[in-house]
Amino acid sequence: MKILYEQENYKAARDKFIKIEKQYSGAPPSAQALFMTGQTFLQTGDYKSAGKYFSRAREISDEPRLEQKAVLGLCRILIHEQQYQTAMQRLNQVVNQGEIDINAEAQFLLGEVYRGQNDLRAAAVAYLKVNIFTAVKPAGPCGRSTRPRGATRSLGRLDDAKRLYHSILQDYPDFNSYTDKARMKIKELANL
């Protein structure tokens, strides 16, 4: 089923996930199948159906990670519907509670919220924070690298980079891997 999803054969994948959901109704495989069914609807632009499946997955899941992924799916729908405040509230509940990949996706979606609100400065900071949290450096909204040190150094905006890293120290004090990296980058920037 997942291979069908990865091959972007969403209709066939959806049919398989719905079959699993019915077969294991109420059990953990059912929650995962509901979530993946929501993903297939999201990928095909059927946001209303996606929302129903994400909500049901969230309701019956007993796994925090799956619940958080379902919230992220719901937030993608809220962003599409331009319900930015609601999306921001839900994302802020998830951003510090999940594993690194969940936190990074929530932070990226916060960037999408800010971009949708035309607050490009806050969006850029949110996208830059994703880079700190992950080993993979995703492209920014314009397809360019969003690495804070390189981008800000070449643009002569070292103060912005320092503010970014200080905001990480402030926003994520309990995440040692983030704060350690931020402190290291602050020291590097001090030497430039």
Using CA atoms, how far apart are residues 152 and 160, in angstroms rounded to an integer? Answer: 7
Lowest-confidence segment of 25-29, 101-105, 125-129, 171-175 by average pLDDT: 171-175
Please report the pLDDT score of residue 135 as a whole number: 45
Mean pLDDT value across residues 105-128: 89
This prediction's pTM: 0.70
pLDDT 10s digits, 130-162: 876 664 444 444 333 344 444 444 445 566 667
Using CA atoms, how far apart are residues 68 and 102, in angstroms rounded to an integer? Answer: 7
